[in-house]
Amino acid sequence: MQSFHDVVIAIVAFIVLIGVMVVVHEFGHFLVAKLCRVRVEQFSIGFPPRLFGIKIGETDYCVSALPLGGYVKMTGESMPGENMSLEGAAPDQIEAQKADPGALTSHPRWQRILIGLAGPAANFVLAFVLMVVYFGWINEVPKYVVNSTTVEWIVPGSAAAQAGLKTGDVIQRFDTVDNPDWMQVAAQSTLNLGQTVQLTVERAGVPTRLSLSIPNLPKGHDFDFPDVGILPQRNLGPINVVDVSPGTPAAQAGLEVGDEVETVNGLSFHFIETMIAYLQANPGKTVTLGVVRKGAHVAITATPEKVGTKWQLGFTSANPPLRYDPLPLGKAIAQSSKFCVNNSTLIVNVLGGLFTHKVAVSQLSGPVGIARMAGQAAQMDGYMPKFWTAAAISLNLGILNLLPFPILDGGMILFLLIEGAMQRDININVKERIYQAAFVVLVVFFVFIIFNDVTKLPIFMHVKQ
């Protein structure tokens, strides 16, 4: 069950992360509006009520009470839902604004389109810059590099075993991706829940084509490799013991802090997750651990005990060792570009999957889900989870705002393109009714997503079980 500590961290991480993302998004609108000489009446960090600020020229720069982002108020914004209002401007007020050279509506459509594009573009730039900083100044890599997508172990009777996958196979192609890394394999699996994917593995130097059925997962359960019975090889070193709990099978068998577990029943395991899966597949059976202790090889025999629903030995392992390997600026830019393209493509594929019924709406995450991800990233070791999560969410925010749906930036841009093709404005009453209906639909969808997020929380999943 999620602890109070985890909840607090999740809330704080969400507020900081979303706050930065939305402020950067609104700053994009603000900057291009200023360049186009549109009058910006207010630039607020946070949502009303206003706490304090300063007026410089025609703009009120302020900090408001609700710390969930911010907004920009431009003269001439008149559609429902803009700047937290469901009421549009009166027709006479709109006509007056058209005569005001500083109003948004008095500017050419191409400038208004640029202003609309600037918010999502700012999110794309933020994601790109974050990953350039990560790759150029940090770039955590495994101390023991694993360059191939090698299978460390296959769970007997699993979907992977039924597909014919074997320990030592190297995945050369998975679905539509050639030479994928494990992150790409996981992403493609998520997009194909309940489907069968084609893959090619290299086995003893010979390419072998296989078909893997990806099972549908329970609501609230994110895809993980053990779901199909695959345990990836992520590390080349042994499993390092950093703690042994008193009274557990590991302690009774004589396992010590500092031991290096190289084999389990003669199988070479490099990652604790593989050992855990092996223990679950062989419930209660005695195992022999091949251990290196101060340079000497020792065989330790232990019988796992069941704690809750899991079989375990009772020791904690170190995370796979990492080292910093900053890239030259050119390579950092290339890696950042690759990250942004791959993740943007994944987001588009997920949205496409909604319409082709390959992805269920229940798989989407809203504010609560994002808060959980932000909290988990904040508590994970290393910088990579934090940078990756922030950049991925920024890309999501940018792409979602480009969707051609009223209220969103993409909806405004679509109206402007239609008006440009018609060479006249769409009737204001028609446009206002569309915006009002879209606002209601968006609120209903938002409520559904929040409800969906809440039902995925550990406390509710525990109740269901």
- C-alpha closest to that of 215 among 198, 229, 227, 230: 227
Yes or no: say if 435 and 77 are a contact pair by the CB < 8 Å rule: no
Q: Looking at the structure, do residues 127 and 160 belong to the same domain, yes or no?
A: no
Q: Is residue 338 part of a domain?
A: no
Q: Looking at the structure, do residues 25 and 105 belong to the same domain, yes or no?
A: yes
- Give the pLDDT band (50/70/90) at residue 370: confident
Q: Looking at the structure, do residues 195 and 214 belong to the same domain, yes or no?
A: yes
**Least confident span in 21-25, 80-84, 223-227, 406-410:** 80-84
Longest Cα–Cα distance in the chain: 88
Q: From 323, 352, 378, give the residue that closes a domain.
A: 323
Q: Is residue 28 part of a domain?
A: yes
Cα–Cα–Cα angle for 16, 18, 20, nearest 5°? 65
Q: From 202, 228, 254, give the residue that closes a domain.
A: 228
> Does residue 201 come out as left (phi exceeding 0), alpha (psi in the -120 to 50 range) or beta?
beta
Q: Which residue range is the domain that position 420 belongs to?
A: 4-132+392-464
- Give the pLDDT band (50/70/90) at residue 465: very low
Tokens (6 digits) for 257? 């802090």
Once rounded to an integer, what is the mean pLDDT over residues 204-231? 87
Total domains present in the chain? 3
Once rounded to an integer, what is the mean pLDDT over residues 92-97? 67
For residue 459, pLDDT beyond 80: no
Q: From 179, 198, 228, give the residue that closes a domain.
A: 228
Q: Is residue 457 part of a domain?
A: yes
Once rounded to an integer, what is the mean pLDDT over residues 133-147? 81
Yes or no: say if 355 and 192 are a contact pair by the CB < 8 Å rule: no
Catalytic machinery residues: 26
Q: Is residue 359 part of a domain?
A: no
Cα–Cα–Cα angle for 321, 324, 326, nearest 5°? 150
The residue type found at 61 is Y
Kindly report the CATH number assigned to the domain that includes residue 180.
2.30.42.10
**Least confident span in 305-314, 340-349, 358-367:** 358-367
Q: Is residue 164 part of a domain?
A: yes
Q: What is the pLDDT of residue 4?
A: 67
Q: Looking at the structure, do residues 40 and 122 belong to the same domain, yes or no?
A: yes
